[in-house]
Amino acid sequence: MFSSTVLDLAFGLVFCFFAVSLTTGTVVETISSLIKWRSKTLLSGIQQLVNDPEMKGLARQLYAHAAINPRGPGADNPQKNMPAYIDPQLFAKAMMDIIGISFQVAAATGGAAALPSLSALHDQVKAAFATIPNPQIEQFLTGVIDRSYGDAEKIKTELSEWFDNTMDRVSGVYKRWTQAVGFVVALILAGAFNVDAVSVAKTLWEQPTVAETFKANKELKATDAIDQLNKALPIGWPNGFGKKATLKHSADGEISWKIEAFDALFSGPDWWLAGLGWLITALTTLFGAPFWFDLLQTLVRLKGTGPSPREKADGRGAAA
């Protein structure tokens, strides 16, 4: 069975990485919301999907449609209040409306179950792209019509799947962007708050020894005790790295902090070791807060009495 020190070390590191990942995710999401990056990425994906990078053709018509951009003003300024998400079914309906397929389906004669002629739908597609030619999308829509035999539901389903497949790639682009920004944010946070993974691991491992030292040496001076505590801090400044903080007693009895060896902060092997620790901390955020949260639950269960029968059946980590 694992010793308590090993579990404490693992628990402390995982909790540290979870806290940094959670903070980083919050900062990245705030940045993304402020610059509307999710909406811009979605717009870029739509422009590539329909071959309209200049926003003058099909992409502009889609964003002017109420099903795609319900908060927008319409054709006057379709890029105002852009959505961050688009439902695939609504995208398919908007496409059918813009191309004119919806009208052709509704105008079919012979009862509700009748289908419009394929030639009529082909002519409608050609008419839709007469002003602004788009051969690739025109060929694609013609193929969709032929494969579905003019059935509106089948056309809608295929357009939805087309949109979904493209959005998977757009999501990948957005995820890579958030990971890159998240790494930079995490590295800044790790350096600013001195969240050094190496130092944290070392401190957590030595905590039992430090506690026993305080218990054994009851004549320890306050200044020495504070100095030891500063060196035993897992994160923050000072914590024994680079600079040494001690108490300074003035002639009138006032107590103040005195920082010694400040030059060592940016020189010596400690600096490189701390930089490595910050880098490790930043890299752990790439796994995401949910990963560390799940691992944290597993450690809690391992250290506790074990999961309840219901949690064991559900696969949940926290112990009862």
- Percentage of residues of the chain with pLDDT beyond 90: 25
Across the range 303-310, mean pLDDT stands at 56
Same domain for 4 and 128? no
Are residue 16 and residue 55 in the same domain, yes or no? no
Cα(36)–Cα(25) distance, integer angstroms = 16
How much of the chain is in helix, strand and coil states, percent to nearest 5? 65, 5, 30
152-177 pLDDT, tens digit per residue, is 888 899 999 999 998 988 888 899 99
Q: Higher pLDDT residue, 58 or 103?
A: 58
Single residue among 134, 159, 179 that ends a domain in this structure: 179
CA nearest to 42, candidates 162, 167, 143:
167
From 100-104, 174-178, 197-201, 303-307, the region with the lowest mean pLDDT: 303-307
Mean pLDDT across the chain, nearest whole number? 77
30 pLDDT band, cuts 50/70/90, is very high
Tell me, what's the pLDDT at 131? Answer: 81
Same domain, 48 and 6: no
Q: What is the mean pLDDT of residues 18-36?
A: 92
Q: Which domain holds residue 54?
A: 37-179
**pTM as predicted:** 0.70
Number of domains in the chain: 2
Look at phi and psi of residue 312 and say left if phi exceeds 0, alpha if psi is from -120 to 50, else beta: alpha
Give the confidence band of 262 by pLDDT, cuts at 50, 70, 90.
very low
Determine the pLDDT at residue 318.
44
Residues 63 and 128 in one domain: yes
Counting Cα atoms < 13 Å in the Cβ hemisphere of 144 gives 24
Final residue of a domain: which of 179, 197, 214?
179
Q: What is the pLDDT of residues 173-226, one digit of tens each?
A: 899 999 999 999 999 999 888 888 888 887 777 766 655 555 555 666 666 655
Same domain, 54 and 131: yes
CA–CA separation, 135 and 188 (whole Å): 48
Question: What's the CA gap between 189 and 180, in Å, rounded?
Answer: 14
